[in-house]
Each structure stands twice: as structure tokens, then as C-alpha cells.
Structure 1
Amino acid sequence: MTQPEPAQPLSDMPMPQGLTIRPEPPTDAALDLLFQRHHQAMHADTPPESIHMMPREALVSPEIAFFVLREADRPLAMGALKDLGGGLAEIKSMHVLSETRGRGLSRLLLRHMIAIARQRGFVRLSLETGAQPSFAAARRLYASEGFAECPPFGDYRPDPNSTFMTLSLD
């Protein structure tokens, strides 16, 4: 997954002026706030044994493409695609700063990652998200883009705090 990425989403959704989505190293200090907020949100109402977020350092891997959505150089959102092998990929670590929500940034980033997954020839894109009410907006977003609930995939096991979703890219 080391191919260069386009700066704009590969979707039919127009990119608002001043926004970019680019691959970046997750270790960049400019992303500290995003990672802090992501960590806080995941621990807010999820038991530790049900938190499946990857450590920041683990996102530095040839199997992972990490993207940052910026506005005027300020990082507002992040997300990653993990190659699971066999034409399967997973969305990891998707997060948008709470004060910037409601602008469609999650949808822009999600559509970008779906387009990249298709471009790379993946046949299925899956994800794990929380089952708690605090994750309802995320589940609605994924469903609105064609994801459907599915059984656990990869190394996941059934978990009452997890919702598993998948999208066929054929």
C-alpha cells in the first residue's frame, strides 16, 4: 500500500475549497490533537477489552495507508485503510474533531478511502465500530454509504460493544 495518493478524493463529491485529503505519516506531531481526541472518544463509554483502535505507532506499516483531511493546513480528520490480504481491507482509526462535525467531513474522508480501496483492487471493505449510542452517527454514515452489518471478520470475535459492517466493492 505504498503507492502515491491523490490530494483530492476520487469520488463525485466536490471537495470544498481549502480542504485537502492526503496520505501522511501518523507520527507527525501536528496530528497529536486528533489522536488525543480519538483516544478519549474510544475510552469514553467502551470497556477496555472492547476497544479495537490501533496504537498510533502501529499505523506506520506497509499494510496501512493513513490519510489526513486538512483545512488551511489544520488537521481536522484522519482515517486509515488496512490491507487484510485476499482482496479485503479494513477502515481503521477514522476520527473527525468534534468542533468540525456537521460539515460533511466524515463523508468526504470515507468516500476518499472507499475510492482508494477500489483503485487498489480491493473487493471488500469492512470496519468495526461501537454498538453504543455514542457511535450511532458513525453507523448511520456507514450505512448511508452502502455498508451493511456483518459478522466479525479477520481477527475480531463477537462483542456486544462492537458493530461490524462491510461493503462490497465489486
Structure 2
Amino acid sequence: MRMQVDDLSDERVQALIMNHLESMALHSPPESRHALHFDGLRQPDVTFWSAWEGEELVGCGALKELGAAHGEIKSMKTDPRHVRKGVARQVLAHIIDVAKERGYTRLSLETGSMAAFAPARRLYESFGFTYCEPFAHYKHDPNSMFMTKEL
């Protein structure tokens, strides 16, 4: 799998982000949706990667800098045709590696508390993320769970 920094100009990447946003809308009320839209993913404090197998888009993920030593995982999404093939595991490993290279000492994330998000939570747990209090701008929300990992 090839990870590349992406400017979100490819229609396939845009479609995957739209699929991610639509999925969030199915499972989370509007006030509990924290997924970044295109403009948010293009901010200077966010690095967005697309994941490819040959010429086929298989997933994506992003890393938002919260401070000199703290990053946030954003926009983890596997193309629905490639679920259960290890794509998310490889994207997450890449984001963790980049966070370490940048000198971050902590990596955090917000995900949903509903059953639809259980596979994502299990993935993060398998990488050593633990549940924590809200961080950065987040507030307690029954629809959100917060996780963190010291690097």
C-alpha cells in the first residue's frame, strides 16, 4: 500500500471523504459530528494522506497538529470495497510513525460511542490507545469517546 500526502483534488478522494461524512451523518447527531470537511482537511495544521493499491484508492487518514507535542488523528476511512483487508491498520501505523518523526509525545482522537464505531475503537485499542477525557476543544458528549496514546 502506498501512502501519499494528498491535496484532495482527485474526485475519487473527494468521493471517499463524502462517504465518510455521510456515514457520520447516519450514526451521529449534527452536534456530535467532528469530521473535517474539505476546507478543514486543507488547513496548514492538517496533513491528509490517501492510501493506494496501484491506481485504486483504498483509504485515507489525516493528522492535525494540536501543539508542538500533540497530534490528533482525523478522517480515518477505508473504502467500503476494502474493509477487513488491513487498510485502516496500515493507515493508522503510518500516522503514528509520522507523529513520532515530528516529535509528538501524544496522539489523541475522538470517535463515536455508538455500536457502528466499535470496530474503529477496537483498532485504536489494539494500537495501545486508551480512553481519556475530552482534549483540545472537545467537551463531554454521550455520542463521543476520546482516546489517547503516549508516543
Q: TM-score, normalised by structure 2?
A: 0.96
Distance 2:111 2:132 in 1: 12
What SS class does the counterpart of residue 96 from structure 2 fall into?
Answer: helix
8 Å CA contact retained: 1:64, 1:80: yes
**Paired residue for 2:133?**
151
Residue 136 of structure 1, aligned match among 92, 112, 118: 118
Q: Distance in 2 between matches of 1:54 and 1:122?
A: 21
Within 2, Cα distance between the matches of 1:32 and 1:93?
12
- 1:92 partner SS: strand
Superposed CA deviations along residues 48-74 of structure 1, whole A, max 9, x for unmatched, are 110001111221122111111011122
Segments ≥4 residues shifted beyond 4 Å: none
User: For 2:110, what is the secondary structure of its paired residue?
Assistant: strand
Task: Report if aligned partners of 1:34, 1:97 keep a CA contact under 8 Å in 2.
Answer: yes
Structure 2: gaps of 5 or more residues: none
| Pairwise CA RMSD | 1.0
Equivalences for residues 29-108 of structure 1 within 5 A = 29-108=11-90
| Offset at residue 86 of structure 1 (A) | 3.6
Distance in 2 between residues matched to 1:135 and 1:83, nearest whole Å = 23
CA distance in 1 between partners of 2:21 and 2:35 (Å): 8
Contact between 2:69 and 2:104, CA under 8 Å: does it hold in 1? yes
Task: Measure, in 2, the Cα distance between the counterparts of 1:75 and 1:59.
Answer: 17
Tell me, yes or no, if the aligned pair for 1:27 and 1:57 is still in contact at 8 Å.
no
d(CA) in 1 for partners of 2:11 and 2:19? Answer: 14
Aligned equivalents of 1:106 and 1:163: distance in 2?
A: 19
Q: Once the 2 structures are TM-superposed, how far is the Cα of residue 97 of structure 1 from its aligned partner? A: 1.2
CA distance in 2: counterparts of 1:28 and 1:100, whole angstroms: 19
Q: Give the AA of the match of 2:99.
A: A
Secondary structure in structure 2 of the residue aligned to 1:82: strand
